[in-house]
Amino acid sequence: MIKRPGVLLTILLVLALAVIVIYKLQTDPYNNSASNDQRNSMTEEPGSIYTIYQDNCLTCHGNNGEAQPGFPSLQKTTLSLEEIKKIIITGRGDMPPFPNITEPQLSQLAELVKRFSN
């Protein structure tokens, strides 16, 4: 061994690789499930802002703001958060007003709309 340091080095390298592979195998599924959890919390958690979207906006604007036929997509909106909030409160054109949606949900809803367009 001492006369052939290359062997020792190779063993060390293989060990280091094994550690990296095991580390990857353990962390990747964890990361995936973490992002799944995040997605679920946006779409399924009761009382989440998406539930408010589902109850009030989805029929016209679609699951992810992609819009139902005859209604505008929210994925293409260039409006600011303030402008979106105003439209939600006062309505516009064929969109009814939602005066019952108040802060902090109002801001969260506007942010959700902005996320659709990202």
> Does 113 engage in binding with ligand HEC (CB under 6 A)?
yes
Measured from the CB of residue 27, what is the shortest distance to ligand HEC in angstroms?
37
> Does 62 engage in binding with ligand HEC (CB under 6 A)?
no
> Does 59 engage in binding with ligand HEC (CB under 6 A)?
yes
Could you tell me which stretch among 7-15, 21-29, 40-48, 71-79 binds ligand HEC (CB under 6 A)? 71-79
Neighbours of 44 (CB within 10 A): 11
> Does 74 engage in binding with ligand HEC (CB under 6 A)?
yes
> Does 49 engage in binding with ligand HEC (CB under 6 A)?
no
The binding site for ligand HEC (CB under 6 A) comprises: 56-57, 59-61, 71-72, 74, 77, 79, 84, 87-88, 92-96, 98, 101, 109, 113
